[in-house]
Amino acid sequence: MKKIILALIAFCSFAANAQVLTSETVTGTSTRTTTAGTSTTVFKRTTKIDSNTVVKDSAGTRYAYNDWQKLIRTGQYALRSNSPLADSVKEFTLVRRTPLDITRSKMMMPPPDETGVIKTGEPFELFKAKDIDGYKIDPKSLAGKIVILNFWFINCPPCRQEIPELNKIVAAYANNPDVVFIAIATDEKYKLKEFLKDTPFAYHIVSDGRELATKYGITGYPTNVIIGKDGKVKSHSMGYGPYTLDGFAKAIDNAK
């Protein structure tokens, strides 16, 4: 009798300009009982996933690479190997994850990466600037307010991916003048104006922010920083993926 237990683990790569599913690892045990006794073998195989990988749903409909990648990034879906014991897996089935699976994933995930330069609990020196619409940013006017900073650039996929979530958070504080959202982009003003025509971003957008990013030691994007009313860093993180913004609103509420 042969008993096989399989577990599917999907990995996402996080970098300044990418956040995509790049490999699928199948792990498990193969237990075999014979007249000589019972033996168990642990196996682990990793398969590269790219635009040539075939991904279908349970009905057999094939998904384009960008479409199934978007679904994977929501954290609500996973890929299941159709030939988990093969040395080279070329076809997967897209499956919706159960609430229990999602809860388990959240429990196992480490907290978002801290930037390594900005330190929680330390004072944050704000800057003077104007956003692309002429709004003046001044440390004096921001004193006693909660300030949320986002460092990003247009050609950064995870930066673009988190914008819809960030817009929802801004909307939740629309009637609170003591919470201010500022996004420092490294791009030029005219490029941002063009980009924002199709992708609205509800933050105050500061253009040409390379010097500011250098000043604060920003090396990865997106980077989010929450500064409390006392001018000290309350929370900060780098990167974006499923569930990374789950506690963002709570962190803002706790930023006193």
Examine the domain organization and report whether 200 and 97 are in the same domain.
no
Residues 6+ apart with CB under 8 A from 124: 118, 225, 227, 231, 232, 233
Strand-pair category, 37-48 with 18-34: antiparallel
Which of 3-12, 43-52, 113-122, 161-170 is predicted most confidently?
161-170
Average pLDDT in the 226-234 region? 95
In a domain, residue 220? The reply is: yes
Question: DSSP letter at 209?
Answer: -
The distance in angstroms from the start CA to the end CA of the chain is: 62
Query: Looking at residue 81, what is its pLDDT?
Result: 77
Same domain, 67 and 170: no
Apex 223 CA angle, 231 and 127, nearest 5: 40
pLDDT class of 180 with cuts at 50, 70, 90: very high
217, part of any domain:
yes
Q: Does 113 reside within a domain?
A: no
Domain shared by 10 and 44, yes or no = yes
Query: Based on the domain organization, do 247 and 161 belong to the same domain?
Result: yes
Q: Decide: 203 and 166 in contact? Cβ < 8 Å.
A: yes
Residues 100, 140 within the same domain: no
Tell me the pLDDT tens digit for each residue of 43-60. Answer: 455 667 777 888 888 888
Question: Are residues 145 and 89 located together in one domain of the fold?
Answer: no
Here the CATH number for the domain that contains residue 224 is: 3.40.30.10
pLDDT of 33 reads 43
pLDDT of residue 70: 76
**Does the global pTM surpass 0.75?**
no
Let me know: does 238 contact 113? Beta carbons within 8 Å.
Answer: yes
Q: Note whether 228 and 179 are same-domain residues.
A: yes
Q: 174 and 230: one domain?
A: yes
- 101 and 16 fall within a common domain: yes
Strand partners, 8: 26
On whether the CB atoms of residues 81 and 8 are closer than 8 A, the answer is: yes
Clarify whether residues 7 and 101 are in a common domain.
yes
Q: Quote the tokens at residue 63.
A: 């998904």
Mean pLDDT score, 199-228? 94
Percent of the chain with pLDDT over 70: 72
Rounded to whole angstroms, what are the CA distances from 218 to 25, 39, 134, 192? 32, 52, 25, 20
**One domain, residues 133 and 102:** no
157-177 tens-digit pLDDT: 889 989 999 999 999 999 999
Predicted confidence at residue 26, as pLDDT, reads 46
Alpha carbon distance 30, 5 (integer Å): 7
Residue 218: partners with Cβ closer than 8 Å, 6 or more residues away: 115, 117, 151
User: Does residue 75 or residue 34 have the better pLDDT?
Assistant: 75
The answer to the question of residue 117 being in a domain is no
Please, are residues 222 and 158 in contact by the beta-carbon 8 Å criterion?
yes
In a domain, 111, yes or no: no
Which token pair is 225? 């920083």
- Residue 62: closest CA among 31, 32, 93: 93
Q: Is residue 115 part of a domain?
A: no
Range of the structural domain that residue 25 is part of: 2-106
Q: Is 168 part of a structural domain of the chain?
A: yes
Of the listed ranges 81-95, 134-148, 219-233, the one predicted with least confidence: 81-95
**Number of folded domains that form the chain:** 2
Q: φ and ψ at 154, to 5 degrees?
A: -60, -45
Mean pLDDT of 79-89: 62
Of 23-27, 87-91, 115-119, which gets the smallest average pLDDT? 23-27
- 171 and 101 inside one domain: no
pLDDT (0 to 100) of residue 92: 86
Looking at the domain assignment, is residue 118 inside a domain? no
